[in-house]
Amino acid sequence: MSWDISDIDKWKAEQFPRGAVIPESGNSQDYNVGGWRSERPYRDPEVCIQCLLCWIFCPDSSVLVEGDQMVGFDYDHCKGCGICANECPSNPKFGGRKAIEMVPEGCELPGASASDSEVK
């Protein structure tokens, strides 16, 4: 089933499904919640050991993985909770730095490579 809500702003009261029911599943993907974020996760691919703990712990399935590689974040659905940065293990090869850290929205990413922040 596909629930067409493209013109929902024009719907009359009686057009909405009774009692605020959403009559289909799996459509939260269509809702951009990236704007709720005050901090965004930034990942340094040099430091990342691809343990995928971030992918396991992310409560919003916003860690993007291709094959067995963590490739970036889905910034349309990441709400900036910081769980990925918290779980990310420190890497002794880089003086105990973590691959993922949270940076305030609107700030320039520290040493961000253009390709990383652009991924989706």
Residue numbers at the binding site for another protein (CB under 8 A) = 1, 8, 11-14, 16-25
Q: How far apart are CA 93 and CA 90, in angstroms?
A: 9
Burial 44-69 (b: 16+ CB within 10 A, else e): beebbeeeebbbeebeeebbbeeeee
Toward another protein, which CB reaches closer, 31 or 66? 31
Nearer to another protein, 19 or 92 (CB): 19
Closest contact distance (angstroms) between CB of 35 and another protein is: 11
Closest to 39 measured CA to CA, from 99, 86, 80: 80
Q: How far is the CB of 25 from another protein (least distance, A)?
A: 4
- Closest approach of another protein to the CB of residue 2, in Å: 13
